[in-house]
């Protein structure tokens, strides 16, 4: 599967990267639902586009190579990918999840899979010892995000994987925030990697997509079966767009991170700011573990303003940075986790894990950093309660 050692090259030439028939340097959009068969049982490799489509397969082989896995699968959204992976389990099974998992991941477990007898428990995966104590005989997997937003908590993927495997658990890592350019969970021990490719992989806030990568043939067969049976597949056009986005991942990420490091230091030194959560800062509690397993701290920052600043005014005063759900696009976005991305987490759990009503999440884009900082500064100034 693996063709290129250097990820900068693999992003562009990995997987099935050209059209064998014509030599087209981009795999065409095979906009077809079905395929002519040359006789009964005589297929040319494809039979129906829910089961397989050449454009989707090009993307699936690319993400598998980038993550260092055995096979990749493309879905209509990150949540469709998560749902497919959760469909591996059965009634009576239990999953441990990181305390700060994406709100939608919590919701699908709490409100949907729970109804089918698949239960979950929030586990402090930041602390491997405490995580191990949560492993009861019914626990079959752990689902980690690192960093997990909005508090950017870091989990030691290798340490958790070792403990999990000792107890026969599957290790699932949502790698949306880091991408394989900054962090590769499979070599660290993960069995399955999940992505909301809507975010950095797509990179332009113009599509919704999800990916899953598995590290064994056995898991590949199971997920392929679920993908075809349940059917939440990514369309050929969106597969093409996502391949196009992935080609520029490394250049975009380098700028995202360059800007984020500057933005984090700006916030840290601003007297209006009460706290900054960013694993790229040396004094962040996740810094050391993150440095061990990732190239850098990524480009997502959360922060809180002091009580004499009105966050409503802050959001409304921004002129360049937009208030919106989502992250990872070229444009800088802010959101209010407690009422937006994490609203589906009950208030008592939000309070317990530290998602306060004053928390602001910033997805640092690739605009000129001086313009981003100037906009943050003027909005902070306007929001001071005099
Ligand atoms: C957005 C997101 C998801 C869900 O993905 P969709 O593409 O919106 O369905 C899952 N995990 C994380 C970390 C996310 O940020």
Catalytic pick among 174, 191, 238, 284: 174
Digit-coded pLDDT (tens) for 1-38: 567 889 999 999 999 989 988 999 999 999 999 999 99
Residues 44-53, mean pLDDT to the nearest whole number: 96
Query: Which conformational region is residue 45 in: left (phi greater than 0), alpha (psi within -120 to 50 degrees), or beta?
Result: left
Residue 177 sits at the vertex; the CA angle it makes with 171 and 179, to the nearest 5 degrees, is 75
Catalytic pick among 19, 50, 107, 274: 50
Spatial separation of the C-alpha atoms in residues 171 and 191, rounded to whole Å: 5
**Peptide linkage before 35 cis (omega within 30 of 0):** no
Catalytic pick among 30, 102, 120, 277: 102
Residues 302-306, mean pLDDT to the nearest whole number: 96
Which of ligand 1's atoms lies nearest the C-alpha of 197? 7
pLDDT at 347: 87
Assessment of whether the complete model's pTM goes beyond 0.95? yes
**Nearest CA owner, ligand 1 atom 1:** 196
In testing the pocket of ligand 1, which one of 77, 82, 104 has its CB within 8 Å of the most ligand atoms?
104
Which of ligand 1's atoms lies nearest the C-alpha of 148? 13
Share above pLDDT 70 across residues of the chain, in percent, rounded to a whole number: 99
Query: Are the C-beta atoms of 68 and 245 separated by less than 8 Å?
Result: no
265 phi/psi in degrees, rounded to 5: -70, -35
Tell whether the torsion through CA atoms of 292, 293, 295 and 296 is positive or negative.
negative
Decide: 210 in ligand 1 pocket, CB within 6 A: yes
Within the chain, what is the greatest distance between any pair of CA atoms? 79
E strands, 197-235, where?
210-214
pLDDT at 114: 97
pLDDT at 2: 65
Spatial separation of the C-alpha atoms in residues 200 and 230, rounded to whole Å: 26
Question: When comparing pLDDT for 356 and 82, which is higher?
Answer: 82
Decide: 77 in ligand 1 pocket, CB within 6 A: yes
Spatial separation of the C-alpha atoms in residues 122 and 106, rounded to whole Å: 9
E strands, 161-226, where?
170-174, 192-196, 210-214
CA 198 remoteness from chain centre = 9
Structure tokens given for 352? 């317990």
pLDDT at 340: 87
pLDDT at 356: 87
**Torsion angle defined by CA atoms of residues 264, 268, 274 and 277, in that order, rounded to the nearest 10 degrees:** 40
Digit-coded pLDDT (tens) for 360-373: 999 999 999 999 99
CA 322 remoteness from chain centre = 21
Q: Is the pLDDT of residue 172 over 90?
A: yes
Spatial separation of the C-alpha atoms in residues 369 and 256, rounded to whole Å: 9
102 given a catalytic annotation? yes
Decide: 211 in ligand 1 pocket, CB within 6 A: no
Query: Are the C-beta atoms of 353 and 290 separated by less than 8 Å?
Result: no
Decide: 104 in ligand 1 pocket, CB within 6 A: yes
Which of ligand 1's atoms lies nearest the C-alpha of 208? 7
199 given a catalytic annotation? yes
Q: Is the pLDDT of residue 180 over 80?
A: yes
Query: Are the C-beta atoms of 252 and 366 separated by less than 8 Å?
Result: yes
Digit-coded pLDDT (tens) for 144-153: 999 998 899 9
Residues near 130 by Cβ (< 8 Å), separated by ≥ 6? 123, 124
Q: Is the pLDDT of residue 177 over 70?
A: yes
**Nearest CA owner, ligand 1 atom 2:** 196
Measured in angstroms, how far is the CA atom of residue 378 from the centroid of ligand 1?
30
Measured in angstroms, how far is the CA atom of residue 79 from the centroid of ligand 1?
6
50 given a catalytic annotation? yes
Residue 55 sits at the vertex; the CA angle it makes with 329 and 328, to the nearest 5 degrees, is 10
Digit-coded pLDDT (tens) for 120-159: 999 999 999 999 999 999 999 999 999 998 899 999 999 9
Coil, helix or strand at residue 266 = helix
Residues 296-313, mean pLDDT to the nearest whole number: 96
Residue 46 binned pLDDT confidence (cut-offs 50, 70, 90): very high
Residue 355 binned pLDDT confidence (cut-offs 50, 70, 90): confident
Give the residue among 214, 237, 247, 179 at the shortest CA–CA distance from 81.
214
Residues 247-251, mean pLDDT to the nearest whole number: 98
pLDDT at 127: 96
Measured in angstroms, how far is the CA atom of residue 385 from the centroid of ligand 1?
35
In testing the pocket of ligand 1, which one of 196, 197, 337, 363 has its CB within 8 Å of the most ligand atoms?
196
Tell whether the torsion through CA atoms of 76, 80, 82 and 84 is positive or negative.
negative
Residue 163 binned pLDDT confidence (cut-offs 50, 70, 90): very high
The 10 Å Cβ neighbour count of residue 143 is: 25
Mean pLDDT of the chain: 96
Digit-coded pLDDT (tens) for 218-235: 999 999 999 999 999 999
Decide: 78 in ligand 1 pocket, CB within 6 A: yes
Q: Is 38 exposed, middle or buried (0-12, 13-18, 19+ CB in 10 A)?
A: exposed
**Nearest CA owner, ligand 1 atom 12:** 102
């Amino acid at each position: 599967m693996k063709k290129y050692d250097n990820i900068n090259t693999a992003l562009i030439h990995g997987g099935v990267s050209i059209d064998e028939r014509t030599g087209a340097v981009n795999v065409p959009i095979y906009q077809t639902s079905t395929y002519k068969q040359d006789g009964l049982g005589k297929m040319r490799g494809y039979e129906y586009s829910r089961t397989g489509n050449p454009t989707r397969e090009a993307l699936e082989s690319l993400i598998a190579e980038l993550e260092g896995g055995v096979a990749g699968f493309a879905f209509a959204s990150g949540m469709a990918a998560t749902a497919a992976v959760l469909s591996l389990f059965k009634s009576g099974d239990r999953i441990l999840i990181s305390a700060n998992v994406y709100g939608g991941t919590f919701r699908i477990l709490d409100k949907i899979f729970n109804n089918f007898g698949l239960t979950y428990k929030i586990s402090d995966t930041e602390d491997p010892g405490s995580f191990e104590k949560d492993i009861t005989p019914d626990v079959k997997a752990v689902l980690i995000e690192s960093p997990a937003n909005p508090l950017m908590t870091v989990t030691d993927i290798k340490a958790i994987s070792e403990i999990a495997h000792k107890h026969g658990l599957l290790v699932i890592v949502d790698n949306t925030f880091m991408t394989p350019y900054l962090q590769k969970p499979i070599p660290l021990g993960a069995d399955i990697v999940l992505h909301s490719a809507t975010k950095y992989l797509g990179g332009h806030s113009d599509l919704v997509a999800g990916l899953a990568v598995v590290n064994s043939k056995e898991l590949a067969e199971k997920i392929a079966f679920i993908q075809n049976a349940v059917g939440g597949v990514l369309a050929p056009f969106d597969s093409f767009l996502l391949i196009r986005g992935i080609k520029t991942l490394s250049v975009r990420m380098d700028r995202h991170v360059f800007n984020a490091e500057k933005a984090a230091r700006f916030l840290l030194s601003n007297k209006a700011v009460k706290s900054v959560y960013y694993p790229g800062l040396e004094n962040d509690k996740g810094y050391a573990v993150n440095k061990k397993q990732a190239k850098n701290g990524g480009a997502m920052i959360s922060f809180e303003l002091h009580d004499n600043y009105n966050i409503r005014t802050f959001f409304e005063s921004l002129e360049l940075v937009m208030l919106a759900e989502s992250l990872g696009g070229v444009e800088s976005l802010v959101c209010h986790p407690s009422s937006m991305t994490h609203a589906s987490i009950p208030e008592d759990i939000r309070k317990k894990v530290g998602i306060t009503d004053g928390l602001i999440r910033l997805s640092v884009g690739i605009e000129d950093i001086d313009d981003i900082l100037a906009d943050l500064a003027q909005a902070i100034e306007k929001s001071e309660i005099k």
